[in-house]
Structure 1
Amino acid sequence: MLTIRQDIPEGLLSLKSHELYKQLDGPTLFQLPGRRSPPIFISVLLHGNEPVGWNAIRDILYRYQNRELPRALSLFVGNVEAARYHQRHLEHQPDFNRIWQFDTGQSMGNTDSMPEYRMAQQVYETMEKRGLFACVDVHNNTGLNPHYACVNKLETSFLHLAVLFGRTVIYFTRPQGVLSLAFSKLAPSVTLECGQPDNPRGEAHAIEYLTACLNLAEIPAHEVAKNDIELFHTVAVVRVAPGITVGFQEDELDLRLIDNIDHLNFRELPFNTLIGWQKNENALVLRTADEQDQEVSDRYFHLDGNALRISRPVMPSMLTRNIQVIHQDCLCYLMERLT
């Protein structure tokens, strides 16, 4: 289901993300020449409701229509079908940022036959053969979060690529199957989180960052100065148990969250912080997995009557009021400060 092109078709750069289906049949890898090589790999629209990456790269490509790019560019445009409907992914699709898990000799079980997984492997193998300068995967998010970069390795080159975007950097190794984790085996890789889709600051920040990356001759080899980085480690992912109803106002919900839940993002929450209320006062409806995929909900949450509260100081990210995203992905991630 992958198309590989050596050019940008006429009129493509005038299209918004939800209009790309008019010219692209599906996931497309553009291999564009530039003054320096190897190429930088930039991924956009892994989630169809996160247009910032496409908006940023089309602005850059428009400005370079009649001149050479400073570095060769491999541009992957992901879930065109979901973007048409402004959805993270469609019901019949897997999440396009969970399909990049294909270690040699390991079976993906019943996912082996899914075209999206085969497509992801084709993209990866194509870039593995071509060689890579760096990888940047560009995203929006749904809650109130600052702009930040994520890395999957605590290596100097990865951290330099991250702090070029900003001081706030998150290190994570779960969930598996994300693009940056796969590409971290090939080159320094980062995931950019550029805030909510309707905020123009995210697009401006992404344009500035991607332009800087295209103009990099090399990634610095010296250590990142401690004053230039705030580094956090994602220690757990929090999901809602299957079949549980979630919301904010209705009395009959299995889990009613506090109204301003996303205001808790990137705040170091003290013990006993209120998260919401459960109908079931006997057992947690949350499912929290640590980096070893062990269930650790009791370590981070407890019930006080029907009130759901934090059990230890922790910092959440990606808390959102979007119920669909909570069910499709997760309620939040939990982080601890490294530096």
Structure 2
Amino acid sequence: MTINYTKLEYFKNLTAEDIPDTPVAWLHSLSASTVIDFVQSDDLPWRVITTLLHGNEPSGFYAIHKLIKESAFSELSVNVRIVLGSIEAAQYKPEFTQRYLTDGMDINRCFGSNSLSQYYLRAQMLASSIRQVEPEAIVDLHNTSGDSPAFGVSCHQSHQHLSLTGLFCQSMIISHIRLGALMEQDFGCPVVTIECGGATKDSSHHLTYKGIVRYLNCEDKSNEELAFQVEVIYHPMRVRVVGNTSLAFANEAASYASVTLRADIEEVNFINNINGMHIGWVDANGLSNLELEEPQLHGKISDYFAVQDGKLVGDADLRIFMATSRTDIALNDCLFYIAKHQAI
């Protein structure tokens, strides 16, 4: 697939008649990353929605399609800019199954770079399109890598960040991790990522739709507008396999894999405490198959997990989130995140 990294498609004030009847047909009508403006008046503030940075996370795209068909972007008290990221990855059949193209890069690891090559250039162009309108808020819509309750992520904890998250869901993770994500960039306004739940769940699509409606119509993003009270979780940590360690998902230890996670590992997401919980198996190399990113900040993997008769078990008061049973994501990104639970 040939990709024009310098191309952004622009549309303004799309109506129901301007787009195809189904999200998939609309997706295939697009030829590049896309910016859609809904302009009410030049003197009104802007709010930005970004979505489809990952091609296999379609809830935001589905919701926007539905809202355009319902004429929901007319007669608002704000202007809205919508940014659609990885169109080509989303179009790869079966649609909405590729996080990014096999020979491509995860664009949500490319923001904030000075490189002008390929996906880094595209990330710069998407970021520039956001800065151009000087928005008062940005919501970046994703789906979780596996089945999971919805949650928000931000680099900052403030009244506005909590309020934006509370338009969509009940939990917010405050992250110090820097991966090159859009959320980490300084746009001069609050930015939150909303992980809207599993990508194939109707409940995720509905949650996203209702959250966008609240976001479009709330006047000042204050606590009075919150649909949910927000619980805060601090300092997430990424757990990865070491090097070329092999991985499987099964109901028992797989003989061909150094690490086997439970086939139902996604059901562990957001369980209050995994201390003592069996989450998988490891071979004779034990915990040396796993690593914790930034150990100088967080300690060793053995501070959080233990091996008991070949079984991998939690060994601290933790939550797991973003656990996935997709081998490609687990190996190329991370197995899952962990965090100590603290609520305010």
Q: TM-score, normalised to structure 1's length?
A: 0.87
- SS of the residue corresponding to residue 67 of structure 2 reads helix
1:111-260 matches, within 5 Å, as 112-183=115-186, 185-220=187-222, 228-249=229-250, 250-260=254-264
Q: Distance in 2 between matches of 1:98 and 1:38?
A: 29
Relative to 1, partners in 2 of residues 1:6 and 1:76: Cα closer, same or farther, differing over 3 Å? same
What do you get for the CA RMSD once the two structures are aligned?
2.7
Pick the aligned partner of 1:49 from 56, 59, 65: 56
- SS of the residue corresponding to residue 170 of structure 1 reads strand
- Quote the residue 1:304 is aligned against: 308
Structure 1 residues without counterparts, runs of 5 or longer: none
Question: Is contact 2:28-2:91 (8 Å) kept?
Answer: no
Q: Distance in 1 between matches of 2:166 and 2:290?
A: 33
Residues 168-226 of structure 1 deviation map (CA, whole Å, 9 limit, x = unaligned): 2221121421111215x42111111111122111111111111111112222289x9xx
In the TM superposition, residue 72 of structure 1 has moved relative to its aligned partner by: 1.2
- SS of the residue corresponding to residue 248 of structure 1 reads strand
Q: Distance in 1 between matches of 2:145 and 2:274?
A: 24
Q: Distance in 2 between matches of 1:87 and 1:292?
A: 34
Q: Distance in 2 between matches of 1:234 and 1:144?
A: 22
1:25-36 matches, within 5 Å, as 25-35=31-41
Q: Structure 2 counterpart of 1:259, which letter?
A: A
1:276-315 matches, within 5 Å, as 276-281=280-285, 283-290=287-294, 296-315=300-319
Relative to 1, partners in 2 of residues 1:332 and 1:49: Cα closer, same or farther, differing over 3 Å? same
Percent identity of equivalent pairs: 23
Pick the aligned partner of 1:261 from 265, 274, 297: 265
Question: Is contact 2:20-2:26 (8 Å) kept?
Answer: no
- How many residue pairs match? The answer is 328
Q: Structure 2 counterpart of 1:244, which letter?
A: T
Q: Structure 2 counterpart of 1:93, which letter?
A: G
Q: Distance in 2 between matches of 1:66 and 1:95?
A: 30
Question: Is contact 2:9-2:32 (8 Å) kept?
Answer: no
Relative to 1, partners in 2 of residues 1:192 and 1:270: Cα closer, same or farther, differing over 3 Å? closer
In the TM superposition, residue 232 of structure 1 has moved relative to its aligned partner by: 0.8
Residues 283-329 of structure 1 deviation map (CA, whole Å, 9 limit, x = unaligned): 52112114977773232223334322222111110111111221232
